[in-house]
Amino acid sequence: IIGLGIASNGKFIATCSDKTDLIIWSLRGDVLARVDTYHNLTYCVRVSPCGRFVATSGFTSDVKVWEVKFTKSGEFEKIGKAFELPGHRSGVYSFAFSPDSSRMATISKDGTWKVYATNVDYSKGQDASILKSGSFDGDSSQKSIIAISHDGQLV
């Protein structure tokens, strides 16, 4: 396991390895779902602050976001692909959700960072859109981490 996230709603844990698997676990340690990320190598997994989404990044030039669904009685229902964050030219080292889960920031091996509007109705075909992007100083061959401030104003 190289990445781990715990849902703030207390319903699940998400893990990834350096292969292509994303695993959703119950808090008791039972595997609820296993998903192939198709990243070739997975670098990062995060659970959104709202607890509705889990996302992964890796060797591919995008971030993949899934919705984790539970029944009204709280039983795990399924995990389904929600949307992707495309636009980089190389692998995405890291990403972050804003505190309200309406935006995501990414940082890539291509030397760029991006901020996306992710408050979309993907079930109706809406895609996340890039709000801002730029380049960063430093050695882009070294894994980098990105974060969004608690107030959502700084990346």
Q: What is the pLDDT of residues 59-117, one digit of tens each?
A: 999 999 999 999 999 999 999 999 999 999 999 999 999 999 999 999 999 999 999 99
Is-contact 43 59, C-beta < 8 A? yes
Q: Can you give the pLDDT at residue 142?
A: 80
Per-residue pLDDT of 106-117, as tens digits, reads: 999 999 999 999
Structure confidence by residue, pLDDT tens digits, 28-68: 999 999 999 988 888 899 999 999 999 999 999 999 999 99
pLDDT in tens, 123-154: 898 999 999 999 988 777 788 899 999 888 88
Strand partners, 53: 67
Rounded-to-5 percentages of helix, strand, coil across the chain: 0, 50, 50
The DSSP code sequence of 46-86 is: EE-TTSSEEEEEESSSSEEEEEEEE-TTS-EEEEEEEEEE-
> How far is residue 31's CA from residue 27's CA, in Å, rounded to a whole number?
10
Task: Measure the CA–CA gap between 108 and 97, rounded to whole angstroms.
Answer: 16
